[in-house]
Amino acid sequence: MRPSLCVVALSFAFFTVTHGPAVLGHHALHADVLAPSPATQDTSAVDGARIVDASWIKDAITKHERIQLRHVVIRGRLELQDLTIEDQFDLGDCVVKDYADFSHTTFKRDAFFSDATFLGGVSFQNAAFEHKATFQRTRFVGDPISFEEAHFFDLFSAEEAQFGSKGGGTAIFTHARFDGTADFAMSVFNGGVHFIRTQFFSQGYFPGVRFLGNADFGRAHFFDWTTFGAGEPPNFNSTFSGEAIFIETQFDSIAWFNGVDFKGDAEFLGARFGNEAYFLGVTFGGVASFDRTQILGSALFSPQEGALTSTFAKPAHFERAARFPGARLSSEARFVGVNFDGKADFSGAHFEGEAHFEESVFHGPVSFHSTAFNAVYFSRTASEQTPQFAKDVDLLGCTYDRIQVDWHSLLQYPNGHSRVQPFDHQPYIHLSEVLRRAGSEKECRCGV
């Protein structure tokens, strides 16, 4: 009688196969029935792990047998493309020495790759994971690392995974689709990573991720809330060492970037935030570009008034140029206490809610050319130690209905020379009119 459940145990490795309907009982098979001989050892195997031929795994899958391997070295090209894997698939803690091809493969049950190491590259292009896909602490060492157009129907967990080696290796998630939570917490991308046009229908979870190369999320779509920085503890804040590209990316829900360290350029050109966008405690070490960005909820580069204090609830810091030309901020925009070390460009931006710049410091030139404010609040008085404006200010065409400002600091240098460049009477006239309507008769002269 053919056994209904067969188990093969090989030291650190075990392989489970199932034939037909399950019945009670199981039988041990000799190792040479489905696996290499126990005597077949490779001195290069880690910690005495056994060698398994990749062809053996493919043969077992074609026989609809359940794969559950642990702590083995898989040798040879693992060619599992265009297959349907009906049962659970488990390569936990395995070392795959050669190229592994899972392209166009459908996993009908949970797929488990935690603690595995792929040395020769791997492709999950167009793969479908109908249940959980677990890659916790998985190491992707060789090229390629492709999840292009993969579809994850359930939870995708890659906590503490490492993508690429120290020499590089780009991970490709272009056009991938995550229906469940996409959890990349504390993972490391040693090379670049592409999430171009990737769709996140549930939570996108990236706290503590280290992007050591360029990270491209261009035209990705986050339908649920997403976080790249939890603020605290500090190690839960992501680091972008290369370019961070979010060009035309859509965030439909709340987006958290609290405490993130952008060491390279941060590009949010044409991005759309459908809810609140949090950038508390963010360091922008490169050029920060928010050209034509839309933020429908509050744009928080500093804490909201009355918010609970914490170690991360501090203003953002722009170490180089800050670019917001043509941006549209539909709700409150808070830049209170923010330091702008380079040029700050808000030309053509629309602030439909209140814009708060109290205690912010502009160390470089500032452009509010054709900027439209509803109500804008600058510091009331200039600090003797750190004046709010240090260089030229372009106010040509800038309009507002209400303004709070120390107009001496805004319009003039300490020596009395005009700070407004290019010079035009319009900024002076408009400020005088607004102050006069507000009843500030003593302040309405403004050097006109």
Question: pLDDT class for 18, splitting at 50, 70, 90?
Answer: very low
Q: What is the pLDDT of residue 313?
A: 77
Distance (Å, rounded) from C-alpha 433 to C-alpha 403? 11
**Can you tell me the mean pLDDT for 403-428?**
90
Q: What is the pLDDT of residue 424?
A: 87
Contact (Cβ atoms closer than 8 angstroms) between residue 291 and residue 323: yes
Task: List C-alpha distances in Å: 160 to 123, 145, 278, 314, 323.
Answer: 20, 16, 24, 28, 33
DSSP 336-393: TT-EE-S-EE-TT-EEEEEEE-TT-EE-S-EE-TT-EEEEEE--SS--SSS-SB-S-E
The SS3 of residue 88 is coil
Distance (Å, rounded) from C-alpha 138 to C-alpha 299? 36
Using the predicted structure, report yes or no on whether residue 440 has a pLDDT greater than 90. Answer: no
Q: What is the pLDDT of residue 236?
A: 81
Using the predicted structure, report yes or no on whether residue 132 has a pLDDT greater than 70. Answer: yes
Distance (Å, rounded) from C-alpha 262 to C-alpha 420? 32
Q: What percent of the chain has pLDDT over 90?
A: 75
The SS3 of residue 47 is helix
Using the predicted structure, report yes or no on whether residue 442 has a pLDDT greater than 80. Answer: no
Q: What is the pLDDT of residue 31?
A: 26
Q: What is the pLDDT of residue 38?
A: 30
Using the predicted structure, report yes or no on whether residue 406 has a pLDDT greater than 60. Answer: yes
Distance (Å, rounded) from C-alpha 229 to C-alpha 255? 9
Contact (Cβ atoms closer than 8 angstroms) between residue 259 and residue 282: yes
Question: pLDDT class for 349, splitting at 50, 70, 90?
Answer: very high
Give the closest residue to 329 by CA, choosing from 301, 363, 288.
301
Question: pLDDT class for 166, splitting at 50, 70, 90?
Answer: confident
Q: What is the pLDDT of residue 439?
A: 79
Q: What percent of the chain has pLDDT over 70?
A: 83
Using the predicted structure, report yes or no on whether residue 345 has a pLDDT greater than 80. Answer: yes
Q: What is the pLDDT of residue 94?
A: 96
β-pair type (13-18, 5-10): antiparallel
Using the predicted structure, report yes or no on whether residue 44 has a pLDDT greater than 70. Answer: no
Structure tokens at 48: 């005495």
Q: What is the pLDDT of residue 230?
A: 73
Q: What is the pLDDT of residue 25?
A: 28
Enter the pTM of the model: 0.88
pLDDT in tens, 47-99: 556 999 999 999 999 999 999 999 999 999 999 999 999 999 999 999 999 99
| Token pair 């949010």: residue | 268
Lowest mean pLDDT among 170-174, 234-238, 402-406, 425-429: 234-238
Q: What is the pLDDT of residue 407?
A: 87
Lowest mean pLDDT among 41-50, 275-284, 335-344, 429-438: 41-50
Distance (Å, rounded) from C-alpha 405 to C-alpha 399? 14
**Can you tell me the mean pLDDT for 198-210?**
97
Give the closest residue to 151 by CA, choosing from 129, 135, 123, 172.
129
The SS3 of residue 395 is coil
Sign of CA dihedral 380, 386, 392, 394: negative
Q: What is the pLDDT of residue 10?
A: 34
